[in-house]
Chain A
Amino acid sequence: MNLITKQENAMNKDRLEDLFQELRSEEPKLSFTDVSRRFLKAQQVGWLGVFLIRFFRKWNYLNWIIMTTSIITATALGILLSGAPKSQTGGKYVTGTPEPQSTFATETEELIEIEYFSADSQLVQRVRKTKGQTQIENIQTLPPEPLPNAKVHHLAPRPSVKDSTAEVTRDRIFQITHNMQDVDLQEIEKAAKAAGLDFHYKYLVWKGKVKKIEYWINWTGPDGKYCNYHAALKGKFSTTVGWTEDAGGKAIGLLN
């Protein structure tokens, strides 16, 4: 602890006064001419100039490294984000092995992104459609095999008969578009349920039309393999979901 005696105190008071007096009588280090010249120059270059001058005066290697790193990180993030899908549109198999020839395609008229999946997971084709431009990216190279007998009908399941091995099968294909209503979706759900498929969905309706939809199809095939399909679409879209039924009306394969 500091113990300051009266004598010391008086001495320090004098010393302090002297120091203040010296400071008061000191000649300015910056002359009026310098200051006014600087002020007028700053008036000419404006605030941006003043800021830049100050900024670069305080510049050092650490600032340089921090700023460069920040710019690079921000640019990289920007590039990554601009390349990433705005929404997941398309399908994704989660577990199990999908049926052969089970392909899925979504088409958007103007919007963002489409993913094209082959059922055997050998082809993932990502199509990005913007207005007037289509960009196709093949993530895996094997092309999808064409559907042998799939025909698209708007909510009108049309039976097609296969006579390959005297076993009668039919394809049921439904179209899902942004113009459909909840009733149509319920119809698909009902048909899927009848075929032994678990089809469920959630959607966003605006002005009576489906603007955003997300749906799942869960199915366990005859061989016991489990297939889980999920797709999310928004904007203007048109896609199909379908399956092949046997004579008893039970699904034997997915067409998505």
Chain B
Amino acid sequence: MLKRKHIRFLRLYEPVHKRFERFCQVRCYGEMAPEDLMNETLLIAYEKIDDLQSKEAFLSFLCGISIRVLANNNRKMRPESTADFPKEVPAYTLTDAEAEKHFLYEALHMLHPDQQEAVILFEITGFKIREIAEIQNTTEDAVKQRLKRGRERLKEILTYESHHQTGERHE
């Protein structure tokens, strides 16, 4: 039988599930199974729910926990090298759209972790800069800078990638 606390917690979680799932899918791409990250985050969040100041902050609360979980996980396990980008993906297994997404995920993982987090939280999860600053425990200016540099780097990577894919050279 479900406890009341469980029900309350899941009611709180339901509206943010979509955004949180998206964040986990992108953030832990190639590092950890998203379902594990989500589950572990939810378990911790459930235990620390009393620390939550307002219901509106629940998503950033979850994201903050998942960032720490992922960092701990990466500390325990040797992080996989991303230097060999682009990874070989059998072309026949992906559609164009899927391939683009795959390369975007890969490109995101080539960013500095802070930039990567800022870009994911802003562009994919839809947080405001102020909220990201709170999650990352930094200033709004720093977040803006991370977003700017992150986007520039992503463009560079994806440009190279598109030329690489089509066999063009740009020297």
Minimum CB–CB distance from B18 to chain A (whole Å) comes to: 5
Given A23-B104, A24-B126, A32-B14, residue A16 in contact with residue B155 (CB < 8 A): yes
When C-beta atoms are compared, the residue in chain A nearest to B24 turns out to be: A30
Among B17, B35, B124, contact of A20 (Cβ-Cβ < 8 Å): B124
0/1 interface trace, chain B 97-130, chain A, CB 8 Å (1 if under): 1001100100000000000000000011010000
Of the candidate stretches B36-44, B52-60, B78-86, B135-143, the one touching chain A is B36-44
Q: How far is the CA of A12 from the CA of B155 in the complex (A)?
A: 6
Minimum CB–CB distance from B14 to chain A (whole Å) comes to: 6
Count residues on chain A whose CB falls below 8 Å from chain B CBs: 32
Instruction: Report yes or no: A35 in contact with B42, Cβ–Cβ below 8 A.
Output: yes
Interface size range on B against A: 35 or more
Minimum CB–CB distance from A15 to chain B (whole Å) comes to: 7
Instruction: Report yes or no: A50 in contact with B43, Cβ–Cβ below 8 A.
Output: yes
The interface residues of chain B, by DSSP majority, are classed as: helix
Minimum CB–CB distance from B120 to chain A (whole Å) comes to: 9
Whether A4 sits at the interface, judged by CB under 8 Å, is: yes
Residues of A within 8 A of B104 (CB): 16, 19, 23
Residues of A within 8 A of B40 (CB): 50
Whether B132 sits at the interface, judged by CB under 8 Å, is: no
Minimum CB–CB distance from B46 to chain A (whole Å) comes to: 7
0/1 interface trace, chain B 10-36, chain A, CB 8 Å (1 if under): 100110011001100110000001111
Chain B interface (Cβ within 8 Å of chain A)? 2, 6, 10, 13-14, 17-18, 21-22, 25-26, 33-36, 38-40, 42-43, 46, 97, 100-101, 104, 123-124, 126, 151, 154-156, 158-160, 162, 170-171
Chain A interface (Cβ within 8 Å of chain B)? 1-4, 8-9, 12-13, 15-16, 19-20, 22-24, 26, 28-30, 32, 34-36, 38-40, 42-43, 47, 50, 54, 57
Having A29-B25, A32-B13, one finds 9 other A-B pairs with CB under 8 Å, namely: A3-B171, A16-B155, A19-B100, A24-B22, A28-B17, A35-B13, A35-B17, A36-B14, A39-B10
Mind listing 7 A-B residue pairs with CB under 8 Å? A28-B21, A30-B35, A36-B13, A38-B38, A39-B10, A42-B39, A50-B39
